[in-house]
Amino acid sequence: MKNLLPLILSIVTLSAIAQNNKCATDLIIENAIIENPSIKNNLDKFYSEFEEYKTKKHRQNIDSVRIIPTVFHVIHQGGNENISKDQILIQLRVLNEDMRRQNSDTTNTPAIFSPFGADTKVEFKLAQIDPWGNCTDGINRVYSHTTNGASGSNGVNTTAYWNSNKYLNIWVVNSMENNGVAGYAYLPNTAPT
């Protein structure tokens, strides 16, 4: 059941908020399945386990909050894409407010989704220890051309990556491969290896 938490690979662009761009998760997963059909089995297994989890009457630690160590890989070439720690902390705060349903706009939830709105009991905190046992602030700045036209296929997620079984990896880049895409995420067990 560990894989039920959204330990996903994410790529975020600087223009996401300003340009009302879209998420390309569905397209990314479809392409991953085409490249590796066994991913479909992994995804089916995930959905099956998730349904089983939802129907269990006795879930352990229902009131405890799961803390996910998070690393922001800021892939940059010295420009505006090299965002500040303050910008990262603001986005992390917003993410946590949304995940814990503590955001101020919960009253704007469309009626069709209202019955499903809930505190996920998941919080993301900047990692304090890196994969090699060193202290970190959870921000990994990497100078690389992969910040432009970023995608999994151009190597941005291999330019900087920490084990996704232990960390949530978030990549901040200047631009995405597909115009109009603000970012994407892999569902559990669907990311290419």
pLDDT tens digits along 165-174? 899 999 999 8
Distance CA 142, CA 131 (A): 16
* φ and ψ of 112, to 5 deg: -65, -30
Query: By the 8 A CB rule, do 154 and 177 touch?
Result: yes
The residue that leads in pLDDT, 148 or 4, is: 148
Residues 35-90: tens digit of each pLDDT: 888 888 888 888 888 777 766 654 555 678 899 999 999 999 999 999 999 999 99
The alpha carbon dihedral of 26, 6, 116, 119 has a sign of negative
More confident residue, 95 or 25: 95
178's tokens: 């597909």
pLDDT tier, 186 (very low <50, low <70, confident <90, very high otherwise): confident
